[in-house]
Structure 1
């Protein structure tokens, strides 16, 4: 067995799904399936069985997964120690960082962050996995990534975290509207993050007895914004979407005490990950950035 095989088993066990595991491993589904087949032939045992609900591990497969954590940890410690020896000798920071990033953060913040960081540390490489914040939270908990960038206050038990910025949640429309009449106005709705949807739904329930009048449903917040810009209805989204848009009216959501509703974006990582120079350097770099200064208008 090769080192990669142990990593494959660990990720596949955590996901119980071939397609999701392949995505996390940055390989194709056929390549992953073929590797498992070859591994079973090499060991002479059945490791997994594929069922309608996903992948099931045999007792032999369970045992291999149990061994994988220790083998991977030992290999990574050796690799990191060697790199740290080079770094301590005055060489450039080198290595590969695995980042789990919410879709919104990946589109609007991450490219600039990586550009500035790569200018300072050109020998650091990145593998980036995007998804909903709840999925990214699971990636970091499972140690499938070194660092996670997550929107919303998801559970970070056992993790170190750093607040990057806060955003207001706002109603946006092409022209002025009467907030009291909101249930009768056409709304553009989109598939948002679970916690954001809950925040908006709770605010609505506290202020109206009628359900919203959903005139158009879309799957992306960017599409919703464009629909609003074209006067097809109002939308409810984070203030970040309003950056550099002057032609729209904005109404911030507030709680019962008239305090603005906020959505936070966090950086999560494991404390022990800071023993590696690459992770430590990147975390320290992020903590010095002022990501939130351009968010609020």
Structure 2
């Protein structure tokens, strides 16, 4: 079996469907069926059975499928080790990055790094910071960039910090918030917890949600059009000098700060690609250079 065969087993085990597996792997269904038959012939056993509920794995087939992650990871490690033996910085950098950074910072960061090291490719996974944290923690990616404070015991680099701001088009008093429509938005659970904790410390009754939108950038646009106020990260609204802002304060009347971190495993610094990327980011002012 080659690497492609193990990937077929992994995806087929997840999808339990020939058509969906073929679509994800960009191969035809006949070609996929032929590869499965080749695997069965090699092991001299049946690994899948087709029924009304889709593909069902035999016990032997299920065992092979559960080994796929380990085997694919081994292939990846071998490939990276061989590339690392070269003097040239090359290979595929696997990144997991929070949604905001992906949209506003990552494209230029990768462009600048590619200009310096043109033999480097990127595989980027995006999501909420908790998802990113889990990916780098489980060694599914080389680098994770998260927003918020997470308990991380390995290597890390602080990229920047931001305040949280009550933001509105017109001036607003803090005491008016419980009776004023708020623009709520989808965000990382950690940020939502910070905002909820601040609210419960400050007010004895819940606020009024006048509108719910998908993300912070959309909420800012609604605020700019006078449809309500939002509690937004300062990095989203600092450039909008025409907006009215109140910084959220903690119990000690100090600004509530949200930090953005780059997490990675110290062991991975043995790879030239990772060490060069970390050094490259260390040399940047992440707010102003990108």
Decide: shared fold, TM above 0.5.
Answer: yes
Contact 1:167–1:264 (CA under 8 A) maintained in structure 2: yes
Contact 2:181–2:229 (CA under 8 A) maintained in structure 1: yes
The aligned counterpart of 1:288 is: 283
Contact 1:48–1:61 (CA under 8 A) maintained in structure 2: no
Q: Say what the alpha-carbon RMSD is for the aligned residues.
A: 3.3
The aligned counterpart of 1:258 is: 253
The CA deviation at 1:275 is 2.0
2:148 is the alignment partner of 1:147: no
Q: In the alignment, which of 77, 100, 118 is matched to residue 122 of structure 1?
A: 118
| d(CA) in 2 for partners of 1:7, 1:284 | 33
| d(CA) in 2 for partners of 1:251, 1:99 | 34
| TM-score, normalised by the number of residues in structure 1 | 0.81
User: For 1:203-229, what per-residue CA distance to the aligned partner results, in whole angstroms no more than 9, with x for missing partners?
Assistant: 001111111111111112111101111
The aligned counterpart of 2:229 is: 234
Q: Tell me whether 179-188 or 38-47 shows the greater mean CA deviation.
A: 38-47
The aligned counterpart of 1:98 is: 94
| d(CA) in 2 for partners of 1:109, 1:58 | 47
2:188 is the alignment partner of 1:187: no
2:216 is the alignment partner of 1:216: no
Q: In the alignment, which of 173, 176, 185 is matched to residue 171 of structure 2?
A: 176
How many corresponding residue pairs?
282
Distance 1:201 1:268, change over 3 A: same
The CA deviation at 1:282 is 0.8
The aligned counterpart of 1:108 is: 104
The aligned counterpart of 1:84 is: 84
The structure with the largest alpha-carbon Rg is: 2
| TM-score, normalised by the number of residues in structure 2 | 0.83
Q: Tell me whether 210-219 or 137-146 shows the greater mean CA deviation.
A: 137-146
The aligned counterpart of 2:201 is: 206
Contact 1:164–1:265 (CA under 8 A) maintained in structure 2: yes
Contact 1:174–1:234 (CA under 8 A) maintained in structure 2: yes
Correspondences of 1:11-50 after superposition (within 5 Å): 16=14, 28-29=23-24, 31=26, 40-44=36-40, 45-46=46-47
Distance 1:6 1:165, change over 3 A: farther
The CA deviation at 1:99 is 1.1
| d(CA) in 2 for partners of 1:275, 1:162 | 17
The CA deviation at 1:173 is 0.6
Q: Tell me whether 32-41 or 171-180 shows the greater mean CA deviation.
A: 32-41
2:247 is the alignment partner of 1:246: no
Contact 1:167–1:239 (CA under 8 A) maintained in structure 2: yes
- In structure 2, list runs of 5 or more residues that go unmatched: 41-45
The aligned counterpart of 2:63 is: 63
| d(CA) in 1 for partners of 2:16, 2:135 | 16
The aligned counterpart of 2:6 is: 6
| d(CA) in 2 for partners of 1:86, 1:176 | 60
Correspondences of 1:271-286 after superposition (within 5 Å): 271-286=266-281
Contact 1:18–1:33 (CA under 8 A) maintained in structure 2: no
SS in 1 for 2:86: helix
Distance 1:119 1:64, change over 3 A: same
- In structure 1, list runs of 5 or more residues that go unmatched: none
User: For 1:258-291, what per-residue CA distance to the aligned partner results, in whole angstroms no more than 9, with x for missing partners?
Assistant: 1111111111222332222111211221122221
